[in-house]
Amino acid sequence: MLPQPWNTRSWESIAKKAQDYRDATIALIEPPLPDIEVLPLDSTPILKTILTPKELSITESDPANLVSQLSCGTLSAVQVTKAFLRRAGLAQKLVNCVTELLPTAAIERATFLDDYLKTNGKPIGPLHGLPISVKEHIEIEGLSCNAGFIAWNDRVPKANAHILDVLLAAGAVLYVRTTQPQTLMHLETSSNYYGVTVNPFNRNLSSGGSSGGEGALVGIRGSCLGIGTDIGGSIRSPAANNGVYGLRPTSYRLPMEGLSATMLGQEQIVPVIGPISTSLEGVKLFMKTLINAKPWIREPSLLPFPWRTESLLPTDPDGTKTLKIAIIWDDGVVRPHPPVTRALRTVAEKLKAVPGITVIDWEPYQHDYAWTIISSLYFCDGGSEEKAAISSSGEPWRPLSKFILTENQNVKKLSVTELWRWTEKRDGYRKEYANKWGDVDVILCPVGPGAAPLIDTARYWGYTSQWNLLDYPALVAPVTRVDPAVDGVETKYVPRNEKDAYNYDLYTPEKYAGAPVSLQWVGRRYDDEKIIEAVDYIKEKIGMPFAEFV
């Protein structure tokens, strides 16, 4: 019997069907995962009580190290895939981050890769046997792709997204799909399909968004390398909230064909696709593999730039690397919470002690105006496609959907002439900001105005959307955690505006206890390789572990 069209069913029944299907895929895991009746605030200790030592060792390995072992047969692809399937299934029970597991297809794929290695004596490609997790709106042939909208539940693509074909050709194993929010335009992950994806380290807090399923899964090590997308912070917010690495690349560097979303074809603020990983090496491996595959041949809108392997950091005549790092302590609109300021101060003090590194303060340039520009260009149709996709099924509006679409005073339907004028303002602002760089190599700044936010409160995008507007690559790296013993409330602070007051009132250290605190490293447009190299060098020199939380 053919399924009924969505408009003859209630949104609740559609959501229930999706949840039942997800649970059925998790039930296929062998050996079965136990039910967890009591969930503590920090869910990460439960992992060691259920997974075997070998499963823990595999899933907590660096992705580059895993590829090395898989490529020589020290570990089998089947062994690694099964370990990640079990940990991903457990992650779902702890933080609600999975839309479906793909155990049958993943194990068949892993078996093929093991046979290939035995037969040919060499790996199939640079990602041979590596399990990679996928945000749900990145299309997989034959699997539903709803982009967070109940009304889109029966959409099934006939082909893989371009990026997945490249990764599969390189030897990857696709084994899990992850949650996303209604509209794909939240800095948290909540939908009427699956509810809220929470933070592994403090379940009262958000995993971030819109790639929050990826962030939570990687944060709890149910994945070591996953694919997210970003138009206003959707890779960096989840990476930061969950204490892992995430890169927003320069636009048109990685393949974008095959994503399910509204407003496809708009060119004013271009979304990007990028990695979320447990390590910086994982980020590098992801980028290098994709760009070395020359994706611009199939997708000609992409930039035909090869991945640069030579050092891009300046050096003194004696060979000492020199870096000028500018710090944004506060964007002039919303002041960061004390844990973020502490992280900035800690890193800055360590940087100043490194020969060849100069640290200066960066004066933010009209970041409030930048938000006016970008929020005016996000929904040039007045949000009509987003609103129609929500309302046509009768599903309720999530709080942050209301915030960005109906409470945002800059959401207006633009005429063609108005669109041109706002695009001129965007380009003018980009030119003015570029002129401020001088000899600065890297900007260091917050990822958000606090650590992982409380549910339904992530209303300030400025620390991430700023770099989408400018189209600068930005890399998130973890630093520390919120510590109530040292991160007290700034009691004498007087908020400067309504947004600042809202953020200030959210903070008490007890609410955010244990949440990861991460920072964002920003480069000029097309400096993707330089940013990765710079952070790698800085990690080595300042001796900070960039805390491994699990």
| Residues that are catalytic | 135, 210, 234
Q: In whole angstroms, what is the distance from residue 234 CA to residue 21 CA? A: 26
Terminal-residue alpha carbon distance, the chain? 46
Q: How far apart are CA 375 and CA 6, in angstroms?
A: 32
231 is in an annotated binding site: yes
Return the DSSP state at 7: G
Query: Which residues on adjacent β-strands are paired with residue 167?
Result: none
Structure tokens at 156: 């099934």
What stretches of 136-178 adopt beta strand conformation (E)?
173-178
Q: Is 232 annotated as a binding residue?
A: yes
- E strand intervals along 342-441: 357-361
Residue 222 annotated as binding site: no
The Cα 374–Cα 366 span in angstroms is: 13
Distance CA(325)–CA(317), nearest Å, equals: 20
368: nearest Cα among 231, 493, 466, 448 = 466
Q: Omega of the bond prior to 237 within 30 degrees of 0, cis?
A: no
235/229 Cα distance (integer angstroms): 6
C-alpha 23/C-alpha 32 separation (Å) is 12
465 is in an annotated binding site: no
Cβ burial 54-65 (10 Å sphere, 16+ → b, else e): ebbebbbbbbbe
Contact 29, 89 (CB under 8 A): yes
Burial string for 399-432 (b: 16+ CB within 10 Å, else e) reads: bbbebbbeebeebeebeeeeeeebbebbeebbee
Was 68 annotated as part of a binding site? no
Measured at the CA of 306, the angle between CA 303 and CA 312, to 5 degrees, comes to: 110
Q: Give backbone dihedrals phi and psi of 546, rounded to 5 degrees, phi first.
A: 45, 70
The total number of residues shown for the chain amounts to 550
Cis ω before 31 (30° cut-off from 0): yes
- What is the Cα–Cα distance from 221 to 84, expressed in whole angstroms? 8
Nearest CA to 248 out of 475, 430, 463 is that of 475
What are the strands, taking DSSP E only, across 404-533? 442-446, 474-481, 516-522
Indicate the Cα dihedral angle 158, 159, 161, 162, nearest 10°.
-150
Strand partners, 413: 381
Please report, for residues 191, 203, 262, the alpha-carbon distance to residue 265 in angstroms, rounded to integers and kept in the order given.
24, 37, 9
Extract the tokens encoding 142.
Answer: 């034959």
Element (H or E) spanning 100, and its range? strand 98-101
CA dist 518 and 78 (Å) reads 34
List the binding residues for substrate: 184, 210, 231-234
Binding-site residues: 184, 210, 231-234
